[in-house]
Amino acid sequence: MKKALLLSLTAICCLSCTKNSDIQTAATPAPTGVELVMWNDYHSTLYESVQKDAPDIADGGLPVWMATVESLKAASADPVLLIDAGDMFQGATPLNETKGQGMVEIMNTIGLDVTTFGNHEFDYGKSETRGDDPQGALKDAIAASQFSWVSANVIPLDEYSSWPPKELKPYTIIQKGPYRIAVTGVTTVETPVATSAQNISGIHFENVADSLMRVIPQIEAENPDFTIVLAHVTGEPTPMPEFNTVSTDATFDHEIGEILAMPAEIRDKIDLLVTGHLHISFLYDNGKTLITQGKSGGRELTTLRLVPKADGKGLEIDKKTVQKINLTHAPIYKGCAGGYDHPENLKVGALTVTPDARGYEMTSRFESGMRENLCDVMACTTEPLFRNNEGESGVGNLVTDATRSQFPESDGALLNAGGLRIDWPKGNLYRELISAMMPFDNYAYLVDMSGQEIIDVLRIMSSGHHHGVLQVSGISYKFQRDCNRPTEDINHDGNTEYWEKSCLCSGPTINGKPIDPKGRYKIVVSDFLYNGGDSLGGIFQTSSIIEKGPLIKQTIMQYISSKEGCFGNADLIDPEAPRITVGTCDAFL
C-alpha cells in the first residue's frame, strides 16, 4: 500500500553566504523540533548535468546545490541537521586533483554535520603528508573536516593496521537545540572490489548487520532522542516506490535486507536509515524505520522534520513533512563555451533561489588549480555518445580501442563499464569531459592470460553483477540477461554470491576465432580489474603482467586527439560485427 506525501515547502530565496547557528538568542523562540536535509553520492560534483532527453533542463551544479541547501536552512525556524550518506568523493577532475580536500572545503562551507564512508572515499590512496600510509589522502581529508565522520563497520584488519584515524568514531551524538540525535554509519562489504586494493590495505569491512547489532545497544545506552544510521550499502526495494511517495509494502534485498532482518529489539531502535550507493530515489516506511535514498551528483535532496513524541520521550518523524526535492532548473552553465550565467532568481523545482556566489568562486578556483587546461579541445562528436552498462556502446568501444592501442601486440582488451562515469555531448570534447568520463587514476596492464580466465571474466561480468558488463576490443560475446540459472562460484573465491549465475552464451571469440580455454592470450586490462576489482579476485591465477602501460585517461586523450574530423556512433559501432550481443542462449558456458 502506498500513500502520497504532502508537499508543503513554499518558494523562498537563498540567504546565501551565512552559516546557520544552533545557538539560540534571547529573541529566538525555543525550537519545537529539528529539520533534516539529506543527500548521498554527491561524487565531487561541480557542474550541472543536462538531461539526456531534455537539453533545456539541467540538474544540480555546485552554485545551485549550495543555494538550495541554504534556502532550506533559512526556511526552518528550528535547528537544521545536514546529513551525507557517503561517496562524497570522486567526480569532477578539479576536485579529484585535491584528493578530497576540495570536497571537504565545500562541505565545511555548507555546514555539513555528519557523514560516513562510501566506497569511493578510499579512491585517492596515499598523500604527500603521510608517506606510505595507504589511506593518507582520506585521513588528511578527515583531519580537515569540521563535521563528524562515523563508521561502525570499517575497522582495523589486525594489530599492524594504521587504521582508524583518531577523529573517526563508531557513532556520535549531535546536539540540536535541546535534542540529542545519535548517528552511526556502515559501508558496503563490496568496497574491496569497488576501489583499488592497495587503498584499503589494513582495513576490514565487517558485515553491516553484525556491526549494527553491536553498536545500536551502545547508542541506546546513551538515551538519545532519535537514532539515525547512514548506510552506504547494497539493496533496493521491490516494488520500487513511485517518486516522492512512501512505500509501506516493499521488500529489500542484499545489505538493506540484512539490516531489516535483524532482531526487532535492535532493528526497531533505528528511527531513520539514510542509504546510498545505488543512486536510486525511494522512500519506505515499515512503521518503525523510515528508509530513504536519493539520486547522485547533487541532483536531489530529501527533507523531513523531527517533532517531540506525544509522551515527551524523544523525537519522531512528522510524516507529513517527508519530501524529495529535485534540483531541476534551466541550464546556467555553458562550460568551456562561456562559463556561467548569474541569474538572481532561478526556479529550482518548487523553490526560487539565487545561485550561491561561493559555488561560482570555488568552481573557478578549483579549475585554476589544475595542471592542464580543462578547456583544451581534444576532439569533437557529431552526436551525443552514451554509455551502456548493459551492452555495447560507442563510448565503451572507443575507450577499449584506445586502451588497446598502447599495446599493438595485444589480442584484445577488457574494461569494466562501471568505470565510465559520464556521457559525452554533441560538439567539442574538452579535456574535462574526457577526464570526467574516466576520472579514476587507473593504469593499463598487458597481461598474459589463459583462455579459460578470459571466459571466467566474461561469465562474471555478464552474470547480473550490478557494476555492469565488460566493454571489449578484439573480443565478442553474447549473454542472456536475467537468466534463470543456479548460482555457482564463478569467481573462484570460495563463496557463492546471489549474483553468480553464469549467463554467458557459448561461442565467445577473440579476433573472430573461438576462445580456446587452454590457449594463452595477451589481453589489456586495468590495474583495477587485475587487482581483483569487480569481484575478479579469484580469477587471475595463472596470469602475469607483461607490461605496465600509462594512465588510461591519458591514453584516451591521446587516442581521440589523433582522430581526423568529428565522429559519432556509426564510426564506433559496427552493426555487422557486434562486440556484445544480448539475447537468448542456446547453450551456456
CA distance 44 to 47: 9
Supply the angle between the helices 394-404 and 552-561 in degrees, to the nearest 10: 100
User: 13 forms bridges with which residues in the sheet?
Assistant: none
pLDDT at residue number 418: 85
pLDDT at residue number 466: 58
| pLDDT tens column, 512-528 | 999 999 999 999 999 88
pLDDT at 23 over 60: no
Residue 235: phi, psi to the nearest 5? Answer: 125, 140
| Architecture of the structural domain at 2-6+37-367 | 4-Layer Sandwich (3.60)
User: 471 forms bridges with which residues in the sheet?
Assistant: 415
pLDDT at residue number 495: 83
pLDDT at residue number 467: 65
Taking phi over 0 as left and psi of -120 to 50 as alpha, with beta for the rest, 292 belongs to beta
CA torsion angle 126 127 130 134 (round to 10): -10
CA distance 406 to 395: 18
Cis check: omega of the bond before 164, within 30 degrees of 0:
yes
| Residue 103 burial by Cβ neighbours in a 10 Å radius (0-12, 13-18, 19+) | buried
Written as one string, the DSSP assignment of 175-237 is EETTEEEEEEEEE-TTGGGTS-GGGGTTEEE--HHHHHHHHHHHHHTT--SEEEEEEE----E
pLDDT at residue number 2: 35
For domain 374-582, give the CATH number.
3.90.780.10
Q: In one letter, which amino acid is 332?
A: I
pLDDT at residue number 25: 43
First to last CA, the chain: 42
* Mean pLDDT, range 111-140, rounded to an integer: 97
| Of the listed ranges 256-270, 287-301, 424-438, 563-577, the one predicted with least confidence | 424-438
Are both 2-6+37-367 and 374-582 of the same fold? no
Written as one string, the DSSP assignment of 328-340 is EE---B-GGGT-B
Residues 120 and 195 sit within 8 Å (Cβ to Cβ): yes
CA distance 351 to 326: 10
pLDDT tier for residue 465 given thresholds of 50, 70 and 90: low
Residues 241 and 247 sit within 8 Å (Cβ to Cβ): yes
CA dihedral (513, 516, 519, 522) positive or negative: positive
Q: Which three cell numbers stand for residue 77?
A: 525556524
pLDDT tier for residue 492 given thresholds of 50, 70 and 90: confident
Number of CB atoms found within 10 A of residue 468's CB: 19
Domain ranges of the chain: 2-6+37-367, 374-582
Number of CB atoms found within 10 A of residue 508's CB: 21
Number of CB atoms found within 10 A of residue 512's CB: 8
More confident residue, 579 or 421: 579
| pLDDT tens column, 309-335 | 999 899 999 999 999 999 999 999 988
More confident residue, 412 or 337: 412
| CA R_g for the chain | 24
pLDDT at 21 over 70: no
| Residue 1 burial by Cβ neighbours in a 10 Å radius (0-12, 13-18, 19+) | exposed
Confidence (pTM): 0.81
Q: Are strands 272-276 and 226-232 parallel, antiparallel or unpaired?
A: parallel
Q: Which three cell numbers stand for residue 431?
A: 579535456
Mean pLDDT of the chain: 91
| pLDDT tens column, 44-95 | 999 999 887 788 999 999 999 999 999 999 999 999 999 999 999 999 989 9
Number of CB atoms found within 10 A of residue 165's CB: 15
Written as one string, the DSSP assignment of 167-180 is T-BSEEEEEETTEE
CA distance 224 to 234: 27
Residues 292 and 274 sit within 8 Å (Cβ to Cβ): yes
Share of the chain above pLDDT 90, in %: 76
pLDDT at 259 over 60: yes
pLDDT at residue number 11: 35
Q: Which three cell numbers stand for residue 488?
A: 555457482
| Of the listed ranges 92-96, 284-288, 292-296, 321-325, the one predicted with least confidence | 92-96
pLDDT at residue number 422: 85
pLDDT at residue number 28: 57
Q: Residue 120 has what DSSP assignment? A: G
| pLDDT tens column, 358-383 | 999 999 999 988 878 888 999 999 99
* Mean pLDDT, range 426-448, rounded to an integer: 89
